[in-house]
Amino acid sequence: MSTHTHQGHDHAHDGHEHEGMLEDVELSERARRVLAMEELLAEKGVIGASEVQRLIDFQGARSPVDGARVVARAWTDPDYKRRLLADPEAALLELGYPLVGSAKLAVLENTDAVHHLVVCTLCSCYPTSLLGLPPDWYKSFAYRSRAVVDPRGVMREFGLDVGDGVEVRVVDSTADLRYLVLPQRPTGTEGMSEDELIALVTRDSMVGVGVALAPVA
């Protein structure tokens, strides 16, 4: 069973020139559009160039390890897990992870009965404030289209075979709402520390195309 939920400038500085800003490098249409939007927002005083760079640097510093740290804390602290599911923004702030932008975040727990799969059918909305930039496959048209109509088939291509008795829920990220999957804690990890558990949490398990790694015997 599967369900789908919608919910004339000199750019060289400090002795360095950036690729894409050189005269002999042609920008893509998307890059030109982004630059035009940035210039318009700065011109109207909505956002400054320094703030744009700060956001870029912040998101560039994030990686799936940050998300794994949140998951590991939820696995080891039942009270934190309850707070994370009820109020993700506040729970993330406890660990020093503020959400950037206006988009909200929902955390969905996988269980023996329900498995969640995250997709953005329109573009590539993704919890970058916690996981960093999305992988190329997440942005591809093939994934965005097939994850909705054949989620089990897509997961099998990632090496995950969800049993017929498990309900698969496909959730659609939007500009206003992003999703993070809380994967199930692997068996045999009862005596492991939080740091050891972090190494078992993969990016794919927090998107839903995979599960957390089993501990090495």
Predicted local confidence at residue 148, as pLDDT:
96
- Count CB neighbours of 117 within 10 A: 25
CA distances to 135, 177, 188 from 7, rounded to whole Å, are 22, 7, 35
Tens digit of pLDDT for each residue in 137-181?
Answer: 999 999 999 999 999 999 999 999 999 999 999 999 999 999 999
Residue 28 is a catalytic residue:
no
One of 2, 28, 63, 123 is an active-site residue; which one?
A: 123
Can you read off the two tokens belonging to residue 59?
């998101």
Q: Is 173 a catalytic residue?
A: no
Distance CA 180, CA 198 (A): 16
Catalytic: which of 28, 102, 125, 173? Answer: 125
Residue 123 is among the residues annotated as catalytic for this protein: yes
Catalytic entry in 2, 28, 102, 120: 120
Percent of the chain with pLDDT over 90: 66
- Per the model's pLDDT, the better-predicted residue between 92 and 216 turns out to be 92
The pLDDT score that the predictor gives to residue 50 is: 58
Residue with tokens 């949490």: 201
- Domains along the chain? 29-60 (no CATH), 62-207 (3.90.330.10)
Catalytic residue among 63, 102, 124, 129: 124
